[in-house]
Structure 1
Amino acid sequence: MATIDRQAATLALAHALSAAERGLPVIPLSRTKLPALPSPHRDDPRPVLCRGECGLPGHGVHDATTDPAAVRALFAAAPWATGYGIACGRPPHHLIGIDLDTKPPEADATAALQHLALRHLFTIPETVVVITPSGGRHIWLTGPPGTVVPNSASRLAPGIDIRGAGGYLVGPGSLSTRGVYRLAPGTAHLGPAPCPRALLDLLTPPSRPHAAQPHGDHQGHGLVQFVLAAHEGQRNTRLFWAACRAYENGIGEELAGALTSAAIRTGLTEQEARATIASAARMNAAR
């Protein structure tokens, strides 16, 4: 096992150095896909808001670098790393990751993206695509300088997550507990393509004050109906997506009861429904 781990660590470093050479900032990842280096502030009695200003490694995506010597130093400090993460939103590429989940009940994430493309009149260009061990897809796109694309989970549609500023993508060649991330056939020679303008507009929605939300009642009714239309296998995902939209638009608290009732009618227990809505509330608060 030690030999296999050393081989995986050597391959991860080689892939990370290759990515850094192409201008992609990288960090070492463990098999769990989490940053391999622990925080240097983990034993502090109070939370420390540090993004690397202390000069020590262990600040997650904020450690990401394209400097070969710094990359080697990070991997030397984490010899157990079997993968690498690529920081999104950083120059020169300002990478944006479109994460399509193919596991049930999100198996229609690819179809949902195609529907968005038809509805908003854009096409996904030929670009880098990474296949995850579970069969999902990571589509790599680039954004313009000065445009901040936030991370999001199922905001565009269930099963579509966005990796933007402050997030990272697992690089191809990384080994996780589930298997190896690999480039999709026919994309190895490509670089990340520019994000279509119409899609970029969807990824960077303008912030709106709660008081300025029009048609709040109509929107809440639509979210409740979305939950009620859930079939077995997609009830929890639909509820989470609807709750996220409600909290993003400032009607989460007032709509929580109606969403809970709708979820119970589809077959979830009250405890399951409330736990899912609470998760959506926490995610919105973290953003």
Structure 2
Amino acid sequence: METWWRQHPGANIGVPTGAPSGMVVVDVDVHGPVDGFHAFSRAHRAGLVDGWQFLVSTPSGGMHACYPATPGEVQRSWQASRAGVDFRGDGGYVVVPPSEVSTGGAAVGYRVRQINTGPSSMLDSDRLRDFLDPRPTPRRSASPDVARQADVTRLAAWVAARGEGERNRGLFWAACRLAENDVPASDALDVLSAAASDAGLGEREITATVRSAYRTAHSRTRDSSTTSEQASSPLATDGWFARDTTGARSPSRARGL
């Protein structure tokens, strides 16, 4: 390590986030018309981003709010691009002070903005994501068939609106919802392909993601039925657009896809 630093004394420092470092980060971006400080302020008023350990100013004019990682819990990285806020957890990393980048011909550094001398607390990253980028909610209708069609249409529109970094995860979540509601895989591809393509995904990636979602949903259904024959379905317990709680579980094999 010392030899490496002697060879590259001006190198920046990157720190993995999540379990490896014990730190997660809310990355507030300022790019063009998007100002993540507005969304961060809303989240602060809602009590969702309190308890940070320290704040770091970034060269773009943004900010890193750093929190302790939740022990024993996987907190995956995500992006809420329209809000201008990213979350750096497991699988992510951040550049830390005293690193510098060149902006407009001048060196601009990462610097510690403020240190919290009071108690810190862990961040509910899933709750923050749902607040910044809420998922569709079903509309009530006298006709179940009409309500179902309306929900599928809104689900496809939500997938089409996903930004870079959110597209694959959003498609996977949407396909799981269709699988849990007994929509055939071929129909799910028909419904979601155009929407995911509008979001910027390629045909091969769309097909692979939908198939993976169906394997995961079917595996979860089998596991639930073997645990209790009377266990309620995701539709019955959480509604059509239930929050995905599968996390990082690996999909097991299922026939038909």
User: What range describes the TM-score normalised by the shorter chain of this pair?
Assistant: 0.5 to 0.7
Within the candidate set 59, 65, 76, 1:150 is matched to 76
Displacement of 1:255 in angstroms is 2.7
In the alignment, structure 2 segments of 5+ residues that lack a partner are: 131-147, 176-187, 210-247, 249-257
**How far apart in 1 are the matches of 2:32 and 2:70?**
34
Residue correspondence of structure 1 range 1-287 to structure 2 within 5 A: 70=1, 72-76=2-6, 78-79=7-8, 81-90=10-19, 94-107=22-35, 109-118=36-45, 121-154=47-80, 158-178=83-103, 179-184=108-113, 187-188=114-115, 193-196=120-123, 199-202=124-127, 218=151, 220-221=153-154, 224=157, 238-240=161-163, 243-244=167-168, 246-251=170-175, 253=189, 254-258=191-195, 273=198, 276-278=200-202
Report the equivalent of 1:30: none
Following superposition, the deviation at residue 140 of structure 1 comes to 0.5
Unmatched 5+ stretches in structure 1: 1-69, 206-214, 228-237, 261-272
Q: Deviations over 1:174-199 (max 9, x none)?
A: 01233211122xx1475993224xx2
Distance 1:170 1:192 in 2: 24
One-letter identity of the residue aligned with 2:34: E
Which residue of structure 1 lines up, in the alignment, with residue 239 of structure 2? none
Q: Secondary structure at the match of 1:98?
A: strand
Aligned to 2:226: none
- Whether the aligned pair in 2 keeps the contact of 1:243 and 1:256 (CA below 8 Å) is no
Q: CA deviation at 1:168?
A: 1.4
In 2, Cα distance between equivalents of 1:123 and 1:171: 20
The structure-2 alpha-carbon separation of the partners of 1:139 and 1:126, relative to structure 1 and needing over 3 Å to count, comes to closer
Specify whether residues 87 and 239 from structure 1 end up closer, same or farther in structure 2 by C-alpha distance, changes over 3 A only: closer
Which residue of 1 is the match for residue 255 of structure 2? none
Secondary structure (helix, strand or coil) at the match of 2:50 reads coil
Summarize deviations over 1:7-40 as a string: whole Å, max 9, x none. Answer: xxxxxxxxxxxxxxxxxxxxxxxxxxxxxxxxxx
AA in 1 matched with 2:127: L
* Offset from partner CA, 1:256-282 (integer Å, 9 cap, x none): 42466xxxxxxxxxxxx56x3449x68
TM-score, scaled to structure 1? 0.48
Measured after TM superposition, the shift of residue 114 of structure 1 is 3.5
Distance in 2, Cα, partners of 1:247 & 1:225: 9
Q: Distance in 1 between matches of 2:118 and 2:75?
A: 19
**1:141–1:192 CA contact under 8 A, matched in 2:** no
Q: Share of identical aligned residues, percent?
A: 21
